[in-house]
Amino acid sequence: MSVRVRFAPSPTGYLHIGGLRTALYNFLFARHHGGTFVLRIEDTDKTRYVEGSVENIIEMLHWCGLDYDEGPGKGGPYGPYVQSERTEIYRRYAQELLDKGAAYIAFDTPEELERMRQRQQQAGIVPKYDRTTMRNQFTLGEEETQRLLAEGVPYVIRLKVPLTGVIKFSDIVRGEISVPARDVDDQILLKSDGFPTYHLANVVDDHLMHITHVIRGEEWLPSMPKHVLLYEAFGWEKPQFAHLPLLLNPDRSKLSKRHGHVAVEDFKKEGYFPEALINFVALLGWNPTGEREIYSLQELIELFDLKKVNKAGAIFDIQKLRWINAHYLRHKDPKELARQLQQYVQEGNLGDFSLEYLEKVVILLRERVDLLPEILTFGDYLFHPPTHFEQEYFARAWSDDIEALIPELLALLRQIEPWEHMVIWEQLKGFAKQQGTKIGKVMNALRLMLTGKSVGAGMTETMEVLGKEETLRRIEQFVTQHLPALRQQVAENASE
């Protein structure tokens, strides 16, 4: 039987990083086995629906390269793939459960249920639907039930969970699990608005869509006993299950927004590469070799093994994501990076720069940042002349001796041909020697005048990228405009 898996998000907002991990593991499993990856939208809870989230989920999956084979917009033999378009089907199956005596009708109002909960809490028992005292098919009898139905009194359909015994199932990640039936609630399957709950729709669809493996987050493990009962009641063969470990913050609390980004689109906006995000997310709960950290999607597909997924929660370490992203930044085609950088430059209204120039900028700075757009802040002086000069660096890098050399330095730079960093370096070295000063001093002064900052890429490489004209212009500008202002600042600080 060929493998069929599904990613079944509820459109309640953005695609969460945990959702991406679920989607990725399903995708890897499907591709590894030459199977089918289905996208199903579980939107039967109308109160939690967020406009635009289906589009966002699809767009983010596509951005990450996780294209599905069947699903919304793509179609497939078992559609529709949006649950709100399948409500008729769920009603039919809920009726089948009623007919089989595996489910029952209940009329309790929200107030009655609330009173039940309070009674149970006061008695110190875990709140759970009490079939024997509430208003349902069993307590009211068949005739009264039919009369209320005919009158149009709102009702729900509940799962009839056995009162004794244990419910057993097996999970690929967690092994054999058994749960006492008395701990399982008589779950609502069909709500009074005629919509199914997650449990009914999920099981019915996994069956009708011929899903062979259910791979999802651990938060769904507690639903398993109900799902097992549903499969048994319908007389359907169960798929295999694999519940993926929780994602945790570094302090081992459940991954949450408070600790930083959790939406895939935010990582995209910040400038992470999809390859890096996928590589990182793949390692949240699994490591193919236990040695390497860098894997392409193709390698992940080849190596993927559900049986090797960890039980223990996986810590979301943003530093590791940055490190992985930096790796991709260093290895990607600089031409492609220049094109991407151009977009950030345009979004930031930083001016017009040719792709040739941006490619040089990328090559100059990509070893020094983790994210491509960080080049814009780290190397801001490559996009406009510096207007701010680090005071402490000024105090260190500037002196009367250096100032006295500026006219000759300008004359020297002006005649350098070709304007290449090795040539510039040789010339500056000769200059320093001839002037009886240290090359380091000359370099520091140049760094100050050209960038305003104490840290950056190699100085002569930076000068090559800036070009001769711009280099000369900045030195002149520094001496005529910025130097007097900096001097004044130093004087003011000293008098304070």
Peptide bond into 407 cis (omega under 30): no
CB closer to ligand GLU out of 160 and 216: 216
Angstrom distance (rounded) from CA 454 to CA 357: 23
CB closer to ligand GLU out of 145 and 202: 202
Select from 5-13, 54-62, 243-251, 486-494 the region that touches ligand GLU (CB under 6 A): 5-13
The tokens for 410 are 């300008």
CB closer to ligand GLU out of 202 and 460: 202
Is the Cβ–Cβ distance between 137 and 144 less than 8 Å? no
By the rule CB under 6 A, 448 interacts with ligand GLU: no
Q: Draw the binding track, 207-246, toward ligand GLU (x: CB under 6 A; -: no contact).
A: ---------x---x--------------------------
By the rule CB under 6 A, 202 interacts with ligand GLU: yes
CB closer to ligand GLU out of 216 and 360: 216
Please report how close the Cβ of residue 239 comes to ligand GLU at its closest, in angstroms: 11
Select from 6-14, 72-80, 85-93, 383-391 the region that touches ligand GLU (CB under 6 A): 6-14
DSSP code string of 106-132: E---HHHHHHHHHHHHHTT------TT
Question: Interface residues for ligand GLU in 32-61 (CB under 6 A)?
Answer: 42
> In 10 A of CB 307, how many CB atoms?
8
By the rule CB under 6 A, 78 interacts with ligand GLU: no
Please report how close the Cβ of residue 4 comes to ligand GLU at its closest, in angstroms: 14
Question: Could you tell me which of 182, 318, 347 has the C-alpha nearest to residue 255?
Answer: 318
The tokens for 37 are 């990856």
Burial readout 108-140 (b: 16 or more C-beta within 10 A, e: otherwise): beeeeeeebeeeeeeeeeeeebbbeebbbbeeb
CB closer to ligand GLU out of 184 and 442: 184
Question: Interface residues for ligand GLU in 169-198 (CB under 6 A)?
Answer: 198
Q: Which of 168, 254, 257, 335 does the annotation list as catalytic?
A: 257
By the rule CB under 6 A, 8 interacts with ligand GLU: yes
Please report how close the Cβ of residue 297 comes to ligand GLU at its closest, in angstroms: 22
Angstrom distance (rounded) from CA 493 to CA 496: 5
Angstrom distance (rounded) from CA 190 to CA 433: 87
CB closer to ligand GLU out of 94 and 211: 211
How do the residues of the chain divide into helix, strand and coil, expressed in percent and rounded to 5? 55, 10, 35
Number of residues in contact with ligand GLU under rule CB under 6 A: 8
Select from 2-10, 90-98, 328-336, 375-383 the region that touches ligand GLU (CB under 6 A): 2-10
By the rule CB under 6 A, 26 interacts with ligand GLU: no
By the rule CB under 6 A, 366 interacts with ligand GLU: no
Is 307 an annotated catalytic residue? Answer: no
Helical (H) or strand (E) element with 325:
helix 318-331
Please report how close the Cβ of residue 27 comes to ligand GLU at its closest, in angstroms: 14
Please report how close the Cβ of residue 47 comes to ligand GLU at its closest, in angstroms: 14
SS3 of 401-463: HHHHHHHHHHHHHHCCCCCCHHHHHHHHHHHHHHHCCCHHHHHHHHHHHHHCCCCCCCHHHHH
Q: What is the tally of helices (H) and strands (E) in the chain?
A: 22, 11
Active site residues: 257
- Chain residues binding ligand GLU by CB under 6 A are 8-10, 42, 198, 202, 216, 220
